[in-house]
Chain A
Amino acid sequence: MHEFRVSVGPASFRLLSDWQKPIAQMRALYASYPEPEIPDFTVRLEAVSLLRRFLRPSGAIEGDYMLPDAAPLPVEQGLLALEMGMNLQMALGWRRHLILHASAVERDGRVLVMTGLSGSGKSTLSAMLGLDGWRFMGDEFVLIDLVSGAAVPYPRLISLKNLAIAEMQRVAPSAQFGPVMAGTPKGDIRHMVPSPEAVTRMAEPGIPALLLFPSFGYSAAVRELQLSETFVRLTQASPNYVALGEPGFTALARFVKTVPARAIDYETGAEAIAMVEQLWDTLA
């Protein structure tokens, strides 16, 4: 199989594929990331049958941790499949931190965490803030240290969807982008390489200082949340909270008690950034 290895934050992967192309794409996009000697996880993109290796090729995501009935993807979306495989290893297999399904940016050693459902804009917002004086830490997972409570970066490729693709190409014309993958299960997807600073400083954690639940598509509003609501929403946003047992509970409870939280609604990226800056100045 074709092979590529990469470290993202504290986690490391061995990516294997029956086809050369997705590996070459990964290699190009992750060129500035370190290569591990002994990877934590293996992800495989395998032809579902010998026929499907050559004719209308499509691959299934396999690896150390798998979902039983994951649908195969056409090989043109192999890059997406490998990224999904990496996310799956983290979600099902990572035990060294409490994982929050969230994006994060850092300034002065303090971290803004944004979490929400797919389409809330957390990914795009983190990418935009990353161009605007913040250090990008990750658009998918934030890793919470079980002992210190620090937020540890996981700056994988930024996954831009649908309208966000054109918007980011407009504001960051010099950034490195992957191939456009149209018609994926999540619509159009294009990956963007995080800034060089995000990669060189990916071992540098920060102190969580503000938690936001953004919602895209509503007129601007800010809402306070009760600790209990924040806690429950974060248990749902954490893929490994249950598997960690008591240390996971302790880490999440401390996070909720020490980090102020707000839900924000917004209609444009510029509006959201202004709200974020204002909340950061008053709360963080």
Chain B
Amino acid sequence: MTDAMILVGALRDPDSAQNLAAEQWTALLTIARAEQLIGTLAFRLEGQAVPDGVKAILTDARLNAEVQRRTALWEADCARRALAEYDGKVVLMKGTAYVASDLRAGQGRSIGDLDIMVAQPDLPTVEAMLLAAGWEWVKQDAYDDAYYRDHMHELPPMIHRERDRMIDVHHTILPLTARPRPDAAAMMADAVPLPLAGGVRGGPEKIVGSLPFESDPPPTPPVSGRGEVFVFSPEDMVCHCAAHLFADGDLAGGLRNLWDFHCLTQEFTASDPGFRTRLSQRAEHHGLTAAVERAQRLADHLYVSGCDQITLTDRLFIRRLTARNGYGQQTRRFIRLAFYIRSHALRMPPMMLARHLWTKWRKGHQPKV
């Protein structure tokens, strides 16, 4: 039966889509939607001769990606205005950072929550400013709340009560209980401002400029951080992408994150031949060498033609990443369960894991595998 390799093939070599039969198109589009890559696929296949039914679906996906891009930038701008009086850096992460920086990884990308990072000591200040600007806690119990605050790399999620959009406020890129301890302070120090201060690049500057928001920053030029937003340096952006993919989580939706990694490394390398060397050095500094190297091998194997330098365990990762059938269902239950267990083993030491799972089980939680 078909698996997600059909999607990988179309992303790697858009010309190959010419040869797809109707049944394969149906499987490809269904899998791409399930893997949150339909917008990306639509951009990859732009200009290809495709059947009419496919063309309509891809056009929808491109329009939808544009709406998501605009919404994500708008939300980032709302956070910027809410934090206008905050002196430290506000760093955009993941999809929002890619579209705000106009990177190829952002083309057609689906974007859900807004992810930002601030310096760890400033969390209470930032939290208070966001609460004052209309964000509120997503309802959850005391255990979850304490767990986030004690052990996680981000605050418990908040949602804006009017716009219904979630924000994740990070202070580092991996759970505090994970073995690698990336140097969050260095990441913050090296984060770079987005070219357009006072408005996210490509974003709705016109709208922002024309409405008299009470929370608008004063019209004086921004000083260190104020009213500006930042993104990670290219090396840190790639390190974060790899950490997110292989040092955290069970690889659900991993094909999209690996596509991010592929686009980022290709684009940064093309504009700067020294990038790979600096990436290796930076990965080593963060303790993320294994994650970055695995991401590179898998991205090259899946998304670049003629790259077959993979290990036996890499093959297991590929089995997990492509575990989806042409109906859009997840397959390979056993291997998914194995990766689910791995994600918890990575996240915390064994005794702590036992205690956590016991607490969760007593509350009726079931793993979504």
Chain A positions near chain B (C-beta within 8 angstroms): 1, 12, 14, 16, 36-40, 42, 44, 46, 62-64, 93-96, 243-245
Contacts and interface: CB of A to CB of B under 8 A. Distances in A.
SS of B interface (majority): helix
Contacts of B63: 95
B166 to A, nearest CB: 13
A64 B33 contact: yes
B361 interface: no
Contacts of A245: 67, 70
Nearest to A247: B63
Contacts of B34: 64
A243 B64 contact: yes
Interface in B51-87: 51, 53-54, 56-57, 60, 63-64, 67, 70
A14 B26 contact: yes
A63 B329 CA distance: 9
A64 B329 CA distance: 10
A12 B328 CA distance: 17
Given A63-B328, A96-B56, A38 B67 contact: no
24 contacts: A1-B327, A16-B327, A36-B53, A37-B51, A37-B53, A38-B22, A38-B51, A38-B53, A38-B54, A38-B57, A39-B26, A40-B56, A42-B30, A42-B328, A44-B327, A44-B328, A44-B329, A64-B33, A64-B34, A64-B328, A95-B63, A95-B64, A96-B60, A244-B67
Given A95-B63, A95-B64, A38 B25 contact: yes
Which of B25, B67, B70 has the most chain A CB atoms closer than 10 A to its own CB?
B67
Interface string B10-41: 00000000000010011001100110000000
Nearest to B24: A38
Nearest to A64: B33
Nearest to B20: A38
Nearest to B38: A64
Instruction: From B34, B54, B57, B60, name the one whose CB has the most chain A CB atoms within 10 angstroms.
Output: B57
A42 B67 contact: no
A238 to B, nearest CB: 15
Contacts of B25: 38
Nearest to A248: B67
Contacts of A37: 22, 51, 53
Contacts of A63: 328
Interface string B102-114: 0000000000000
A252 B64 CA distance: 19
Contact of A46 (B26, B54, B329): B329
Contacts of A243: 64, 67
Nearest to A93: B60
Given A1-B327, A38-B51, 12 more contacts: A14-B26, A37-B51, A38-B25, A38-B26, A42-B26, A44-B327, A46-B329, A62-B329, A64-B34, A64-B328, A94-B60, A245-B70
B269 to A, nearest CB: 35
Contacts of A96: 56, 60
A239 B56 CA distance: 20
Contacts of B327: 1, 16, 42, 44
Nearest to A37: B22
A159 B327 CA distance: 27
Nearest to B53: A38
Contacts of B29: 38
Contacts of B26: 14, 38-39, 42
Nearest to B50: A38
A12 B53 CA distance: 9
Nearest to B63: A95
A16 B67 CA distance: 30
Given A38-B22, A40-B53, A64-B33, A95 B60 contact: yes
Nearest to A42: B30
B205 to A, nearest CB: 16
A168 B57 CA distance: 37
B65 to A, nearest CB: 11
A13 to B, nearest CB: 11
Contacts of A39: 26, 53
A270 to B, nearest CB: 42
Nearest to A5: B26
Nearest to B55: A38
Nearest to A46: B329
Contacts of B53: 12, 36-40
> Considering residues B22, B56, B327, which has the most beta carbons from chain A within 10 angstroms of its beta carbon?
B327
Contacts of A62: 328-329
**List of 8 A-B pairs having minimum Cβ-Cβ separation, nearest first:** A38-B53, A95-B60, A64-B33, A37-B22, A42-B30, A38-B25, A245-B67, A38-B22
